[in-house]
Structure 1
Amino acid sequence: MAAYKARLQEYDALLSQDVIDIKALRRLCFSGIPDEGGRRALCWKLLLNYLPLDTSQWQDTLNKKRAQYRHFVEEMVVEPARLSKNGSGNNHVEDHPLNPNPDSQWGSFFKDNEVLAQIDKDVRRLCPDIMFFQRGTEFPCRQVVDDPEVERLHRRVTHAALASTSLTRKGLGITKLENCGRRSTTTEDYHPLPPGAEAHWEVVERILFIYAKLNPGQSYVQGMNEIIGPMYYTFASDPNIAFRENAEVDCFWCFISLMGEIRDFFIRTLDDSASGIGAMMERLMANLKHHDFQLWNRLRVQELRPQFFSFRWLTLMLSQEFDLPDVIRVWDSLFADANRFTYLIQVCTAMMVLQRDAMLQNDFGANMKLLQHYPPVDVQVVLSKATELVEGGEVSPVDPSQPEPSS
């Protein structure tokens, strides 16, 4: 207990500096951030480069970002909803739903709804192992809930659109992102709350919709909901009421920052590029070969390719492999690592190494099942093994300098 209190004091001392020592913060956060006092939410905002290191600039930054987000809501959610209800705006008197003009706001409205259909489907099933996302937020978006002319995003999605729209990413991997993983369980879709209230999943829906509007080249891709879920949960659970009230805004900007680093994983045309998911999977298997040649060779002989399991691990940053509290703990270390994708490679390698005894005995089918549905494990054991690999403590059972055995 005394050691834990000392650790809390170390965080508080570091976070109270006029200019945050980011290297010291990374070292501290790498071992896990305490839940108490909103420390994790604040540290994530710093580690994701949302808040500047100069604490005197925090309030000005927050004011600007929050005003900018309110503008996005007005422009991309509120105004299109009014257009839909009223038939046309004052400045678009010749516009109508059948207008073939590519500049027609109606054309944009219908195109947006194709994307919104998939977002709506995904967020209604977000983190089904907890009740959080179907509960009401304390701070619904007043721009939306207080305006009788604004049609909520979920009401713009028709059953026909849901039935016909599928934005599932095609490409690497043999399974859909939404259909496998510890936390992807069959569940009844979440329902909207009465007028004047908003569930947390509706807030996430709005964030993802605005992100898709701002990034038309990429738009929304299935799996982004699994990236934003743990982040929003962390911010919306902040005991600091001023931060909790602005969880939607802060989550949006942190999501923007994180996606700036991992967006290439979601773009199929970049799969084979140096920054794409294909290169990441190659790095993972090369790392496994370096640390455990025998296990690597077992997968090679069985032709159990990394696309079959690690595509989801890497793209979704393990958010589907562990329960939410464990995902959040893993992300403490990933966000704290200056080369976080290097550490992600080590964590994924550790997951395989920890199962080596079973995998060396299993046939192809059993190993496929094990890797696609990773067994329950103490996540701290995984992180400790990953750190051991980073430090070079793991010795390869077979010397990689020797010729590879034939299959």
Structure 2
Amino acid sequence: MVKKQLPDWLNSSLWSSNPPPPPADDPSPSDHSPFDRKPVVPVTPPGAIEPPEPVKVEASDPLLDDAVSDHQDEFENGASSVSSVVEDASKQAQLLHEISNKVISLTELRRLASQGIPDGAGVRSAVWKLLLGYLPGDRALWPSELAKKRSQYKNFKDELLLNPDTEIIEQIDRDVMRTHPDLHFFSGDSQFAKSNQEALRSILIIFAKLNPGIRYVQGMNEVLAPLYYVFKNDPAEENASSAEADTFFCFVELISGFRDNFCQQLDNSVVGIRSTITKMSQLLKEHDEELWRHLEVTCKVNPQFYAFRWITLLLTQEFNFADSLHIWDTLLSDPEGPQETLLRVCCAMLILVRRRLLAGDFTSNLKLLQNYPSSNISHLLYVANKLRSHPG
């Protein structure tokens, strides 16, 4: 059998990094998982992450020439603060212009949002609501649609929070309390943090009551948190005060795209979470068979050991909060739907550390993938997009 060759664009030293030193000790068994169904596998203590190696760029491949010449400084040293500010201001102006139109072009909005949405001016809040179908493309309909949905959510609270399921509440309470303990927005004794926790709690209870086929699945709080954070930080007071209602409906839309991953009865079906993980594995094999073979055949690293969390929690636990929001800009803006993009991003994460993985064994590779190193997110998303246009 002829060994499948790696595409030329993946041979660039853009993906190079030196292998890490041997691990000091073996991973210890996990006693906590983001979902009840997550396999019990070894995990590494948080302090065991090695700093990422600097990425060296060589614009030797024609497929990479344009991108590398445009972003050479960004890849090697990080974009200068001045150029970054200018770029963000330009993106923000374009997005503001688009969402100010009487009728918004979702095609253009997706194109702009896929490159990342700058913080500020409530742009991300409005764009995410549009991308998730919560706001209609016709701006004239916004006031009536928002009033109707917000009133509907109030009725849900009045009707569904009276006699909630005790078992579900206990699980939701535990998870909400440990949502992003590093962020004062969600954690701490302040009244503000407590009110935000209460909003997450109410949304999750109502969702569970309205969706008896799924109810509540451990870890949903992590998927909910970015939506609520973005909407609550909308500078428009009317929007911020209605963040809970807006978040509920956007959460329903988002979960609907990943619904089969949360349904335990479908775990082993052609549409369940294990099937989704298999698709990610096949995508890696298609683009980098050498890496796929080393991980899954030689080292016997089952992708469920790391990809289960990556996929079900939409990468919210693998990157810092700000970087997660940037990744979500791209996930939500893809016309094919977020899941296909998510799988490409997961595959790109493996390719970016391929040298270290190829040099590693089961233990070191599992450590690396369960504690993914800091990365340039724009660079990661660029590679993920390459996987769409350049199959192996």
Q: What TM-score results when the alignment is normalised by the length of structure 2? A: 0.75
Matched, 1:294 2:290: yes
Question: How many Å separate the matches in 2 of 1:218 and 1:69?
Answer: 20
- Contact 2:153 / 2:245 at 8 angstroms: preserved in 1? yes
Q: Which residue, 356, 359, 378 being the options, matches 2:357?
A: 359
The alpha-carbon deviation at position 8 of structure 1 amounts to: 2.4
SS at 1:334's partner residue? helix
Structure 1 position 388, deviation (Å)? 2.0
Q: Report the equivalent of 1:338.
A: 335
Q: Measure, in 1, the Cα distance between the counterparts of 2:258 and 2:374.
A: 27
Given that 1:212 and 1:218 are in contact with CA atoms closer than 8 Å, whether structure 2 keeps it comes out as: yes
- CA positional deviation for 1:379: 1.8
Alignment of 1:326-405 (within 5 A): 326-339=323-336, 340-392=338-390
Match of 2:255 among 259, 264, 269: 259
Letter in 2 for 1:329: H
**1:192: how far off?**
8.2
Q: 1:133 maps to which residue?
A: 186
Please list the CA deviations of residues 283-314 of structure 1 after superposition, one character each: whole Å capped at 9, or x if unmatched. Answer: 11111111111100001222111111101111
Tell me, yes or no, if structure 1 residue 325 matches structure 2 residue 325.
no
Structural RMSD (CA): 1.7
CA deviations over 1:42-72 (Å, ceiling 9, x no partner): 0000000111111111111111111111111
> Partners of 1:380 and 1:364 in 2: how far apart?
29
Structure with max Cα Rg: 1
2:174 to 115, 121, 125: 121
2:313 is aligned, of 313, 316, 331, to: 316
Structure 1 consecutive aligned stretches of length 4 or more whose deviation exceeds 2 Å = 1-9, 190-194, 272-275
What is the correspondence of 1:4-403 to structure 2 with a 5 Å cutoff?
A: 4-77=88-161, 79-80=162-163, 112-134=165-187, 193=191, 198-299=194-295, 300-339=297-336, 340-392=338-390
CA shift digits 1:319-346 (9 cap, x unpaired): 1111100000000000000122111111
Q: How many residues are treated as equivalent by the alignment?
A: 306
Give the Cα–Cα distance (whole angstroms) in 2 for the partners of residues 199 and 11 of structure 1.
Answer: 31
Q: Encode CA deviations 1:109-147: one digit per residue, 9 max, x unaligned.
A: 5xx01100000000001011211113xxxxxxxxxxxxx
Task: Confirm or deny: 8 A CA contact 1:321 1:374 kept in the other structure.
Answer: yes
Amino acid at match of 2:117: I
Change (3 A) 1:2 1:307: closer
| Sequence identity percentage | 41
What amino acid is aligned across from residue 357 of structure 1 in structure 2?
R
CA distance in 1, matches of 2:286, 2:263: 29
Structure 1 counterpart of 2:8: none
Return 5+ residue gaps in structure 1 as ranges: 81-108, 135-189, 397-407
Cα separation, 2, equivalents of 1:376 and 1:5: 25
User: Could you tell me whether the CA contact under 8 Å between 2:258 and 2:339 is conserved in 1?
Assistant: no
